[in-house]
């Protein structure tokens, strides 16, 4: 019987009979303790050392993790080590691409040294021993030991079949996800192409409108009546009410509509600012009733502060709000307001972008103050 064997037996007996009654400063942690070869994804063996009053070791200088293929008569071989002087982890096993090693020594807190295998093999089984070396309060060398073990089993046929079924289901789910993603990408590509075409058309329409506007301004310099002519072509005009005329757009869905927006400004007008029930009724009764429009924009936005409606031009608070049932109802998605035919021309909140969507069912009212 060799001295090494006797030493290992003594260590094992001390570990078995003494450590259960003490709060161990050094622990060998094995997760999981049993490995299914080919099925267990990760195996971690770790030496954990924490300062403890029951331990004579007051200053840790090194940690060592050793392994023996046999648990009956262990013949330990050092696998990893770390010391307090350079904090470097040493050991040939860390060169294995399927393993990760980690460790640190901290005499003020906890120290650790460990290794983790990905899909561990049979050679990872056996006995493991952690050794902690340092000095006691008298400055003399002290060592502590802790043991752990790893068992390995080969999965039976049922386990393999169950695992294959799970993997097959996961692959099918991933394939469905890939197919759904491809479909979304194809849809986005199609929508992006359509959007690019719309942008191009809009730009062409804007360019044409700009050229028309330049010609109008040039002609107006010599013939002021052209403003009136443009007004009659592009708008239906009301009679005067409280010092203003109200103009309802005649055309929409083409470049003439953009021209209408620009002409409203040239006439000194702006989106109609409705501030009383009388003004609201005047616009509705004289311009909107009998038209085929579904929504007619007037001034008012709560884009700056939700629920606080302010006029677009004068920046004053809207004084009169005659909302339809359940309106306003779309929060931050709809920050403009319009008369709406489907609710008997009550107000609704509406997306501001709808005004520029070239939709023939959408119009706006331009308010033009009359000079005295």
pLDDT in tens, 271-281: 999 999 999 99
Segment 260-272 shows an average pLDDT of 84
CATH of domain 224-369: 3.10.100.10
Residue 17 has what pLDDT? 41
CB 90 within 8 A of CB 110: no
Please write the tens of the pLDDT for every residue from 121-171. Answer: 888 899 999 999 999 888 899 999 999 999 988 876 666 656 666 777 787
Q: Is residue 189's pLDDT more than 90?
A: no
pLDDT > 70: what percent of the chain? Answer: 81
Please write the tens of the pLDDT for every residue from 55-114. Answer: 788 899 999 999 999 988 899 999 999 998 888 898 877 667 788 999 999 988 899 999
Segment 27-53 shows an average pLDDT of 88
Yes or no: domain 3-155 corresponds to CATH 3.40.190.10: no
The pTM assigned to this predicted structure is 0.44
Longest dimension (CA), the chain: 123
Please write the tens of the pLDDT for every residue from 77-93. Answer: 999 999 988 888 988 77
Distance CA 270, CA 282 (A): 17
If pLDDT is split at 50, 70 and 90, which confidence band does 9 have?
Answer: very low
Q: Which residue has the higher pLDDT, 242 or 175?
A: 242
Residue 230 has what pLDDT? 66
Residue 260 has what pLDDT? 77
- Domain range summary for the chain, segments of one domain joined by +: 3-155, 157-223, 224-369
Note whether 3-155 and 224-369 share their fold: no
Distance CA 260, CA 65 (A): 84
Question: Within 13 Å and on the Cβ side, how many CA atoms surround 305?
Answer: 6
Residue 244 has what pLDDT? 94
């Amino acid at each position: 019987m060799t001295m090494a064997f006797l030493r290992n037996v003594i260590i094992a007996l001390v570990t078995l009979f003494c450590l259960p009654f003490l709060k161990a400063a050094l622990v060998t942690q094995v997760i999981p303790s049993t490995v299914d070869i080919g099925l267990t994804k990760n195996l971690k063996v770790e030496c954990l050392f924490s300062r403890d009053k029951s331990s004579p070791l007051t200053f840790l200088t090194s940690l060592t993790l050793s392994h023996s293929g046999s648990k009956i008569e262990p013949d330990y071989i050092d696998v990893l080590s770390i010391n307090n002087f350079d904090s470097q982890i040493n050991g040939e096993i860390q060169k294995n691409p399927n393993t990760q090693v980690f460790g640190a020594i901290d005499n003020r807190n906890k120290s650790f040294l460990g290794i983790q295998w990905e899909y561990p093999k049979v050679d990872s089984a056996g006995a493991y021993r952690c050794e902690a070396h340092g000095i006691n309060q008298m400055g003399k060398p002290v060592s502590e030991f802790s043991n752990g073990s790893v068992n390995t089993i080969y999965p039976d046929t049922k386990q393999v079949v169950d695992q294959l079924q799970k993997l097959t289901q996961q692959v099918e789910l991933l394939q469905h996800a890939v197919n759904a993603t491809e479909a979304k990408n194809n849809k986005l590509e199609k929508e992006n192409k359509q959007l690019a075409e719309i942008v191009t058309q809009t730009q062409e329409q804007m360019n044409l409108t700009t050229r028309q506007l330049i010609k109008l301004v040039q002609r107006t310099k010599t013939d002021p009546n052209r403003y009136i002519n443009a007004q009659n072509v592009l708008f239906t005009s009301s009679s005067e009410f409280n010092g203003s005329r109200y103009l309802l757009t005649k055309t929409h869905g083409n470049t003439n509509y953009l021209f209408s927006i620009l002409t409203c400004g040239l006439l000194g007008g702006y989106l109609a600012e409705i501030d009383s029930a009388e003004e609201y009724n005047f616009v509705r009764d004289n311009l909107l009733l009998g038209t085929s429009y579904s929504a007619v924009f007037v001034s008012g936005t709560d884009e700056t502060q939700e629920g606080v409606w302010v006029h677009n031009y004068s920046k004053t608070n809207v004084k009169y709000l005659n909302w339809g049932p359940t309106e306003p109802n779309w929060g931050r998605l709809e920050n403009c307001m319009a008369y709406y035919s489907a609710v008997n021309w009550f107000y609704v909140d509406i997306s501001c972008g709808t005004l520029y969507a070239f939709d023939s069912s959408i119009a706006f009212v331009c308010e033009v103050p009359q000079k005295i």
